[in-house]
Amino acid sequence: MESKVRLQTEAGLPSLNLTGDEWRVMYESLNAVIYGLGPNELHTCTGHNLQETCSINLKICAAVWGAHGVGRAWVGS
């Protein structure tokens, strides 16, 4: 998945085109980084502050997380 993201980023595409499972991995990875590092370490390691990183993860969540009658489920799963 890393090479797929890199290729799309280097191509200057306005957004990434990933499968539902790939977006889930991206969401869970960002979540782990957010909770694994404190705000200062997060900024030092990624260049993004806590608010920016949480905003990115919220956008991912909003794009791939859907409501399906009884609770929530990942879109495409």
57 Cβ contact list (under 8 Å, min separation 6): 27, 30, 31, 34
Domain boundaries along the sequence of the chain: 2-74
Q: Report the Cα 21 to chain-centroid distance in Å.
A: 11
pLDDT tens by residue, 38-68: 888 988 988 888 888 888 888 888 777 654 4
Polymer length in residues for the chain: 77
pLDDT tens by residue, 66-76: 544 444 554 44
- Please give the model's pTM, rounded to 2 decimal places: 0.66
